[in-house]
A and B are shown apart, each in its own frame.
Chain A
Amino acid sequence: MDLVTNLAHGFGVALSLQNLGLCFVGCMVGTLIGVLPGVGPVATIAMLLPITFGLPPVGALIMLAGIYYGAQYGGSTTAILVNIPGEATSVVTTLDGHQMAKQGRAGIALGVAAIGSFFAGCVATVFIAALAQPLTKLAQLFGPAEYFSLMVMGLVFSTVLARGSIFKAILMVLLGLLLATVGTDLETGQERMTLGIQSLSDGIDFAPLAMGIFGFSEIVKNLENPEARDVVRNKIGRLLPGWEDIKQSIMPVLRGTFIGGLLGILPGSGAVLGPFASYAIEKKVAKDPSRFGKGAIEGVAGPESANNAGAQTSFIPLLTLGIPPNAVMALMVGAMTIHGIIPGPQVMTKNPDLFWGMIASMWIGNLMLVIINLPMVGMWVKLLKVPYRMMFPAIGIFCCIGIYSINNASEDVLFTAFFGFVGYVLLKFGFEPAPMLLGFVLGKLMEEKLRQALILSRGSFTTFIERPVSLGLLILAVVILLLALLPSFSKQREEVFTE
């Protein structure tokens, strides 16, 4: 009953003309920056912060939130069309999404991504409204030891991501972990593997690495054989998913929403793990896992739902506790503080307008996004028809602008070029970049949590199996690993038999 009155109050706030307008502007800007490779929500929200000074706090936050989850929608567009993940959460989408585009099914991939995201967004919003408080307790269960075990589980997922050799995938994960150790040591403040380059003192940024290894190397690869590119241009099939596609996507969307929403609550890289976990599950339950990596629609539907659900539920720690789980949420804290609302456990009771208004606006925003995005699918797909000699410089320029805007540092652009070269070499030798990015994303947090857990336990490794949640996660990781390895053993046997 309380929930209904609270939600009604929230909709009352969110449906005012001004807030509707701000929500729309936020979603629109978010979609655009999501589509532009490189320009992320962090840089955009930081740039727009001064503009929100003149707005009432609720409206300002509704708009900023719209930018964040709007960017999640838009991010999948570039991942599918040009194989560039704008955000860590859309790395997985490139695997099957871009393959679908190559087969002339770009429209279907985009459509399923939008519909899946819409569904996930709606469910996650209800989730937040009804269960925000008890879910906060879940996040509290996670200390350093639990996080470390969660990351271990995440790394196990990476073996599932591999399209080719599992051995090569493991090597790439290790390379990713290694790259994550570049930068200042957490405890001593010493610089590690920075080669004396000052801009490396805080480590390698995700964006230059991802843009370089995916985007730039993809461009170089396409320049190598322009004919292959033209094939993509000529094969553009239907624009929106048909009934058959929808039917195939229903279960992945449901599973993705659940797993993404759950992981999204966890501070740190929780939201990043969602799409990876969803992809791993889909590949496991699929009747024919070999279709994955070659344009399986489930590989788009599941992870896309997971990342949008995670984007919504990552608001939970911010709204209920006042603790930001990621860089975007830290900016939201800043935005609230500038408006005189210090986020904390009392926001819900002291500023019900803000709390319930924002939740209601998320639902409205998701509806707006699907309305904005579905008609645009046709337009995006037409982009593929643009001759490559025009498209490639444009992508290159947008990437550079985006990368520069993150830290206002020209070194980052040079790093991107360097990683582009590395990515091309890796491609030539048949190494896939996705497992490396997962290793990189998890590596930083993994090292940090490992060290914190070990300092807290005064060096005793048993802390990871003494704590029940941590033990459970580790057991789960072992099970997944066994499941992943077993079929490859049996397959080998089959191959032996067929010979």
Chain B
Amino acid sequence: MNRMLTAVAALLSLSIAPALAQNYPTKSVTMIVPFAAGGPTDIIARIVNEHMSRVIGQQIIVENVAGAGGTTGIARAAAATPDGYTIMMGHMGTHGAAPALYPNLKYNPATDFAPIGLAAGTPILIVARKTLPAKDLKEFIAWAKAEGEKANHAYAGVGSVSHITGVLLNSVLGTKPTMIPYTGTGPALNDMISGQVDYMTDQIVNVVAQVRGGNIKAYAIALPERSPALPDVPTTKELGLDYQVSAWNAIFAPKGTPPAVVAKLADALDKALDDQKTKDRLLELGGVIPDKAGRTPEALQKLVESELARWTPVLKAAMAAGKK
């Protein structure tokens, strides 16, 4: 009798774990977005979530935990129970640049997560005040080199996309402009429209309306192909500048999340990115949707590793130069 009970118990315990994963999800899923509501990453998360919720049959609820360039929210999500009910939207800052910028970072982007998949990227534009004399990218590069420290380069605070991508641009150009810190893209754009600062780099969704309205000008888009959102803006590839960068956003789960759960979420993400309405909404933002091969958990893991390798030296050099 006793033996039978143990056997039953053993059988049960064997079958329970996979069964839980099989039934997943039985309640709503929380997605931690490590930025304030209304920003580009938040918007992409909400657009993708809408269809993903439909596929998994449970609501995915966005919880905004902003702070310290997104690392506060990601640190919290990384420490959550890995049962698939807490996932997160990471991006190039939290999972690429953060280790170089935050020496006390509480997580390792490459080893502390179960990647689910790349959601969407937003390409980076090089924009400038409309009164800047340079007419095109070539003239702009010449101008930046001639001005040196006299050029005023705006960015939206340490660790922001505009900071990371701006530092990269300056290192590619080999220039050292004066960097003007702002607390967000909005105030930086405001000062660029009124001509106080010269140039910056930022995500297309943040600047597209100002470029279309003629308040600022765009020299190039850092993509291999032109964006349908701004077809007149040439690419850095066409112009022969080695500056290819887009602010990618990707879904991660904490390390130890059951593989069946990860697979289910990855499948939901894949279906969402194939959904026409979701696609249209992302494209309207100027977003770049990854192809089938680029959406898998394996591809995301590779991306994180290559991004870490790309940003760490550039940013460490820039931070060291800034401290002197």
> Which residues of A pack against B, CB within 8 Å?
42, 45-46, 49-50, 53, 139-144, 184, 186-189, 198-199, 201-202, 267-268, 317, 321-325, 327, 330-335, 337-338, 340, 342-347, 407-409, 448, 451-452, 455-456, 458
Contact = CB atoms under 8 A, between A and B. Distances in A.
A49 B38 CA distance: 9
Contacts of A335: 38
Contact of A143 (B64, B196, B215): B196
B66 A202 contact: yes
B224 interface: no
Contact of A201 (B36, B67, B183): B67
Given A198-B68, A202-B68, A344-B210, A337 B187 contact: no
A325 B189 CA distance: 11
Contact of A188 (B42, B158, B196): B158
Interface of B: 36-39, 42-43, 46-47, 50, 62-68, 72, 75, 101-102, 152, 157-159, 178-184, 186-187, 189-191, 193-194, 196-197, 205, 208-210, 212-215, 281, 284-285, 319, 322-323
A345 B209 CA distance: 7
A317 B193 CA distance: 12
B65 A408 contact: yes
A342 B208 contact: yes
A278 to B, nearest CB: 25
A143 B191 contact: yes
A449 to B, nearest CB: 9
27 contacts: A46-B37, A46-B38, A46-B64, A49-B37, A140-B190, A144-B191, A144-B196, A187-B179, A187-B322, A198-B72, A199-B67, A202-B68, A267-B190, A268-B187, A330-B36, A330-B38, A331-B36, A334-B38, A334-B39, A334-B42, A338-B43, A338-B47, A342-B284, A344-B210, A407-B65, A451-B181, A456-B152
A340 B287 CA distance: 12
Contacts of B158: 184, 186-189
B193 A321 contact: yes
B38 A407 contact: no
Nearest to B73: A408
A404 to B, nearest CB: 12
Given A141-B194, A408-B63, A330 B39 contact: yes
B255 to A, nearest CB: 20
Contacts of B43: 334, 337-338
A49 B46 contact: yes
3 closest A-B pairs by beta carbon, nearest first, are A344-B209, A334-B38, A345-B213
A324 B184 CA distance: 10
A53 B209 contact: no
Contacts of B75: 198
Nearest to A452: B180
Contacts of A42: 37
B194 A140 contact: yes
Contact of A407 (B66, B190, B212, B323): B66
Most B C-beta atoms less than 10 A away, residue of A317, A323, A332: A323
A283 to B, nearest CB: 32
A342 B285 contact: yes
B194 A344 contact: no
A139 B190 contact: yes
Contacts of B186: 267, 323-325, 330
Nearest to A336: B38
B38 A267 contact: no
A184 B65 contact: no
A441 to B, nearest CB: 14
B48 to A, nearest CB: 12
Contacts of A340: 281, 284
B196 A456 contact: yes
A141 B190 CA distance: 10
A266 to B, nearest CB: 10
A347 B63 CA distance: 30
Contacts of A452: 180-182, 191
Contacts of A188: 158, 322-323
Contact of A327 (B36, B46, B157): B36
A323 B182 CA distance: 14
A343 B197 CA distance: 22
Contacts of A344: 208-210, 212-213
A334 B42 CA distance: 8
A347 B322 CA distance: 40
A418 B184 CA distance: 30
Nearest to A455: B180
Given A330-B39, A334-B37, A456-B152, A267 B72 contact: no
B131 to A, nearest CB: 13
Given A323-B190, A340-B281, A189 B159 contact: yes
Contacts of B193: 140, 321, 323
A179 to B, nearest CB: 17
Given A337-B285, A340-B281, A456-B152, A201 B68 contact: yes
Contact of B213 (A49, A139, A346): A346
Contacts of A327: 36
B209 A343 contact: yes
B183 to A, nearest CB: 6
Given A337-B285, A452-B191, 14 more contacts: A49-B46, A50-B50, A143-B196, A188-B322, A189-B159, A189-B319, A202-B72, A317-B190, A323-B190, A338-B47, A344-B212, A346-B213, A408-B64, A452-B180
Contacts of B64: 46, 408
Most A C-beta atoms less than 10 A away, residue of B39, B46, B66, B186: B186
Contacts of B205: 337, 342
A187 B213 contact: no
Contact of B187 (A45, A50, A267, A321): A267
Contact of A333 (B38, B65, B322): B38
A199 B71 CA distance: 11
A131 B288 CA distance: 38
